[in-house]
Structure 1
Amino acid sequence: MGMRFSVLASGSTGNAVYVETDAHSFLVDAGLSGKQMEALFAKIDRNPGDLSGLLVTHEHSDHIKGIGVLARKYKLPVYANKKTWDAMNGLIGEIPTEQKFTFDMETVKSFGSLDIESFGVSHDAAEPMFYVFHHEGKKLVLITDTGYVSDRMKGTIANANMFVFESNHDVQMLRMGRYPWNIKRRILSDVGHVSNEDAAIAMSEVIGDQTKRIYLAHLSQDNNMKDLAKMSVTQTLKEQGIIVGEEVELHHTDPKIPTALTAV
């Protein structure tokens, strides 16, 4: 069956992505409560106790809320870089030393035939990083929580079979919305989140012959809508010469409903 994944939850209220092969399974972030995480696992007919480990991207609460609970309850290894470990101190409770592992940025860890590659993003956290999963010639990229997509990032993530790609906000909705200006400025900055249009431009530069699906992720509940994000990305990709539905499929993610467990 190769590699499979489900975006368990994605959005301002909590983020988590499940990735498995026949031999290993990992959860990237656990941004909801332990109970909510268990309920999401049940919806895809999986058990968090079977996980090989938890991978942390950065210390913001919508990514780590359930990390400590799951790690302690199921005695799971937790992987994060040193600066993120330091930043999580006091936020996730005590994790036994034997369950704490360092996963440095711009490195690869191998678990049997599964290689997990970390890469840095531009976000207002201690040392934020996301992951590329490589298995049997297939490539799955997770990239959210970045203010822009650099050439270095593009080189790492290019030509994945599937992407979970941030499409956080519509710029006009954000500018006209209820957020105070300092929050708007943070979101629009180079260490904030990418807009629908900027995400699509970056996508157009990394979509390759292997690319089949892109899941639009981390949508703002206040400054975006699923249909608007899909329409904006579709239109911008068309302007860049990529036709959605022919060359690549776009899929939604949801804050509360997992995507179907899908083969990469």
Structure 2
Amino acid sequence: MTMKFSVLASGSTGNAVYVETGDQAFLVDAGLSGKAMNELFTKIDRDIAKLSGILVTHEHSDHIKGIGVLARKYNLPIYANEKTWHAMSKNIGEIATDQKFTFDMETVKTFGSLDIESFGVSHDAAEPMFYVFHQGDKKLAVITDTGYVSDRMKGTIRNADAYVFESNHDVGMLQMGRYPWSTKRRILSDVGHVSNDDAALAMSDVIGDRTKRIYLAHLSLDNNLKELARMSVQQTLELCDQPVGHQFELYDTDPKNPTVLTAV
């Protein structure tokens, strides 16, 4: 069985990552409307009703907007830690008790052939966490919405075959942009989002001999550009003796269009 994934949507307006094996199919977050989520699944020729569940990272609206609708319409299991359940409950509506599951931080749950590992990140949410997917010798790490990448996080995500990795903003664009200073300060803080350069420095510490694909994710619509993110990350990685295009490649993600469903 092959593990495949697609970054369905990524950015300030909504986030969702689809991961499947031969016997399991999971969604990490559903930060768009139910209608938009259905359209994204159609684009990758998959059926939401066949999901094994939705894994929630944290309660911000660009990660949970469609969760309530999808849970109720398709009777899907929802997984989140207790603090996130408490924080998001008022925004997702009623979820049946038998669809609500607790997934604690820093634990591993096994679903058929798939092991899913949760790990904490540094973000201004109740108890934000992301996920690493393991199947056989294959490893996919999803990490966005963190103000920095700690040594502990790096240890968890090190030497993955593929990464969905936050590259949120260009510091210069953010500093010169239209956001109020309070928002800029939040984004730049240790509980905000990582910049292009900081993302690349973290990548240089975790890329291993198995790494083949890095998807630059959660780009700010106001404070970044795909071309700028890719150029900045590539330049920094090259300075760290991790040249792009030899062992691994960089890929864009998009707020509205999914990446090609690809084997890990």
Aligned counterparts, 1:123-138, within 5 A: 123-138=123-138
User: By how many angstroms is 1:226 displaced?
Assistant: 0.1
Aligned counterparts, 1:80-119, within 5 A: 80-119=80-119
Aligned: 1:14 with 2:28 = no
Post-superposition CA distance 1:47-69 (Å, at most 9, x none): 10000000000000000000000
SS of alignment partner, residue 256 of structure 1: coil
SS of alignment partner, residue 185 of structure 2: helix
SS of alignment partner, residue 92 of structure 2: coil
Paired residue type of 2:186: R
SS of alignment partner, residue 84 of structure 2: helix
Q: Please, which runs of 5 or more residues in structure 1 have no aligned partner?
A: none
Corresponding pairs, count: 264
Aligned: 1:246 with 2:246 = yes
Q: TM-score, normalised by structure 1?
A: 1.00
Aligned: 1:169 with 2:161 = no
Aligned to 1:141: 141
| Matches of 1:40 and 1:133, distance apart in 2 | 21
| Matches of 1:242 and 1:82, distance apart in 2 | 39
User: By how many angstroms is 1:136 displaced?
Assistant: 1.5
Contact kept, 8 Å, 1:2 with 1:136, in 2: the verdict is no
Aligned to 1:44: 44
Q: Percent identity?
A: 77
User: By how many angstroms is 1:247 displaced?
Assistant: 2.1
SS of alignment partner, residue 152 of structure 2: helix
SS of alignment partner, residue 90 of structure 1: helix
Post-superposition CA distance 1:199-246 (Å, at most 9, x none): 000000000000001000000000000000000000000000011011
SS of alignment partner, residue 222 of structure 2: coil
| Matches of 1:35 and 1:95, distance apart in 2 | 19
Aligned to 2:192: 192
Aligned to 2:213: 213
| Matches of 1:156 and 1:141, distance apart in 2 | 9
| Matches of 2:56 and 2:109, distance apart in 1 | 14
**How large is the Cα RMSD of the aligned pairs?**
0.4
| Matches of 2:103 and 2:11, distance apart in 1 | 25
Post-superposition CA distance 1:32-88 (Å, at most 9, x none): 000000000000000100000000000000000000000000000000000000001
| Matches of 1:113 and 1:77, distance apart in 2 | 18
SS of alignment partner, residue 41 of structure 1: helix
Q: TM-score, normalised by structure 2?
A: 1.00
User: By how many angstroms is 1:31 displaced?
Assistant: 0.2
